[in-house]
Amino acid sequence: MTLIDVLQARRRIAPYLRRTPLVASAWLSGLAGAHVWLKLESLQLSNSFKSRGAFNAVLARLERGAARDQPLVTASAGNHGQALAAAAELFHVPLVVFTPADAPQTKLAAIRRHGADLRPEGRDYDHAERLALEFSRQRGAPFISPYNDPDVVAGAGTIALEVFEDLPDVGAMLLPIGGGGLISGVAMTARAIAPAHRSIGVEAEASHAFLTSVAAGRLVAITPGPTLADGLGGNPDPQTITFGMIQQFVDHIVTVTEDDLASAVAGLVEHEHLVTEGAGAAATAAIVGRRIALDGLRVAVIVSGSNIDRARLISVLGRA
């Protein structure tokens, strides 16, 4: 994957998606002793960055001559399934989405609303992905991974293009890591534009597959624990393209605690008047929890999504 792939992705998706704002945060700047901006992918179509990769994947397949009536299948913790369902609905492509049974109801409702065949049958994300891959093999339905797909990763990389256009001297970006698609696309693009730029990944302490794997020099299976950042939990596909990209382009990975995540969600509401989900606030949590030194840097923090159930948001605000 190269910068050309990301530029082509932007050409494809621009008519359908939003250019999200980059806004200065006095609150986070004060906490970090740095100049901090928030890239609000929480305001993207489907309320998460996943729309970029989902729309690019569907459009790229159609450009390559795929039949519109050929069903697609995916696995998702919620946001990718919702975004892919929106793209599939717009372009009249059948879609089957496997999710964990306990995925947030706001995400499941959106998948159903867009007309996808929702199958909330997984014990967790890893199980949902295995079910989707088996369905793909049995039915011959192409599997669109939420992270292990070059078109999905290239779509995510378009975020970096917008950040550099709005803040040309940005020195670092903080990004959440789940399957690694977001940080792989953004970090690769940032390195191509500004070789000295730092890409910093943030994982949940309860589920940090990439921190463990980078330290080991190979993908290592972990036992993920429950986390407020449900979109970041689980193990990546053992064959994922994102591991090599993270090794090559990501400068540092830190973890955040559940208290960090809850404080970040609450802080974004209180100080920025922004609703975010746990995964969406993970990069912010690295600053709130003082997990990374950013002294004097100009930093873009990716707020990756806002699809949180009302009851969970109320609980987090009360806890924080």
Instruction: State whether 87 and 197 are in the same domain.
Output: no
Looking at the fold, whether 176 and 315 belong to one and the same domain comes out as yes
Q: What is the mean pLDDT of residues 163-178?
A: 98
Where does 241-317 show beta strands of DSSP type E? 252-256, 298-303
Whose CA is closest to 118, among 90, 89, 140, 138?
Answer: 89
* Mean pLDDT in residue range 235-249: 96
Query: Residue 197's pLDDT is what?
Result: 97
**In this structure, how many other beta carbons lie within 10 angstroms of the beta carbon of residue 122?**
23
How far, in Å, CA of 18 to CA of 41, rounded? 9
Q: Is 145 contained in some domain? A: no
Q: Are residues 273 and 209 in the same domain?
A: yes
| 89: in domain | yes
| pLDDT on residue 320 | 74
Range of the domain at 70: 50-139
pTM of the model: 0.95
- How many structural domains does the chain have? 2
Res 38: pLDDT: 98
Q: Of 139, 158, 193, which one is at a domain's C-terminal end?
A: 139
Query: What percentage of residues in the chain have a pLDDT greater than 90?
Result: 98
Instruction: Find the mean pLDDT for residues 159-177.
Output: 98
Q: For residue range 113-151, what is the model confidence (pLDDT) as tens digits? A: 999 999 999 999 999 999 999 999 999 999 999 999 999
Mean pLDDT for all residues in the chain: 97
In this structure, the answer to whether residues 135 and 155 fall within a common structural domain is no
Instruction: Clarify whether residues 29 and 11 are in a common domain.
Output: yes
- Domain membership of residue 144 (yes or no) is no
Both 171 and 63 in a single domain? no
Residues 112 and 170 in one domain: no
62 part of a folded domain = yes
Would you say 300 and 40 are in contact if contact means Cβ atoms under 8 Å apart? no
Per residue in 276-319, pLDDT (tens digit) is 999 999 999 999 999 999 999 999 999 999 999 999 999 999 98
Last residue of a domain, one of 139, 169, 186: 139
Q: State the pLDDT at residue 163.
A: 98
What six digits make up the tokens of 137? 């093999």
pLDDT digits (tens, 9 = 90+) for 68-114: 999 999 999 999 999 999 999 999 999 999 999 999 999 999 999 99
Q: Which of 116, 139, 162 finishes a domain?
A: 139
Region of poorest pLDDT, from 20-24, 214-218, 233-237: 233-237
The pLDDT value recorded for residue 319 is 83
224 DSSP 8-state letter: P
Q: What is the CATH number for 125?
A: 3.40.50.1100
Asked if residue 295 and residue 157 are part of one domain, the reply reads yes
Average pLDDT of the residues in 30-34:
98
